């Protein structure tokens, strides 16, 4: 909830500056820069090699079935390559196991961060 508020604040501040060009003393040529051309959260000082905050790197938790796209049922899952994958129904587990790498790639492309499988004791 805090992150959503911070994003809303940044969007509001960015929108208020988007209409006007502003002078930036850091600009080497002394020309005006439009604040609207900057991405929210970026700054001229940010180096291209800087990593995003850890919260951004984590990705989003799995909330939808990789096969059917419906909401997951946390009681319906399988473990694959050390990760726990949730599904909407038992039928989707069978479909997943026929081509697991396809579904794993699709989830990775969507930024889904899967939970680790519990370690057996």
pLDDT in tens, 75-105: 999 999 999 999 999 999 999 999 999 999 9
Confirm if 94 and 109 have CB atoms less than 8 A apart. no
DSSP 12-60: HHHHHHHTSEEE-TT-TT--EEEGGGSPTT--TT--TTPPPPHHHHT-E
pLDDT tens digits, residue range 7-66? 544 444 444 444 444 444 554 555 544 444 445 555 555 455 555 454 445 689 999 999
Domain count, the chain: 2
Domain membership of residue 25 (yes or no) is: yes
Domain that holds residue 19: 2-49
Whether pTM > 0.85 for this model: the answer is no
Residues 78 and 36 in one domain: no
Residues 33 and 72 in one domain: no
pLDDT of the residue at 59: 84
Confirm if 115 and 72 have CB atoms less than 8 A apart. no
Residues 67 and 108 in one domain: yes
Residues 45 and 72 in one domain: no
Domain membership of residue 65 (yes or no) is: yes
pLDDT tens digits, residue range 67-79? 999 999 999 999 9
pLDDT of the residue at 57: 55
Domain membership of residue 107 (yes or no) is: yes
pLDDT band at 121 (very low <50, low <70, confident <90, very high): low
Domain membership of residue 54 (yes or no) is: no
């Amino acid at each position: 909830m805090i992150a959503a508020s911070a994003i809303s604040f940044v969007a509001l501040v960015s929108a208020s500056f988007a209409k006007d060009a502003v002078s930036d003393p850091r600009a080497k040529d002394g020309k005006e820069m439009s604040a609207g051309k900057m991405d929210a959260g970026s700054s001229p000082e940010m180096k291209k090699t800087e990593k995003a905050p850890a919260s951004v790197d984590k990705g989003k938790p799995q909330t939808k079935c990789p096969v059917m796209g419906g909401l997951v049922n946390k009681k319906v899952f399988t473990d694959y390559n050390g990760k726990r994958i949730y599904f909407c129904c038992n039928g989707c587990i069978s479909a997943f196991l026929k081509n697991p790498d396809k579904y794993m790639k699709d989830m990775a492309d969507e930024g889904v961060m899967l939970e680790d499988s519990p370690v057996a004791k």
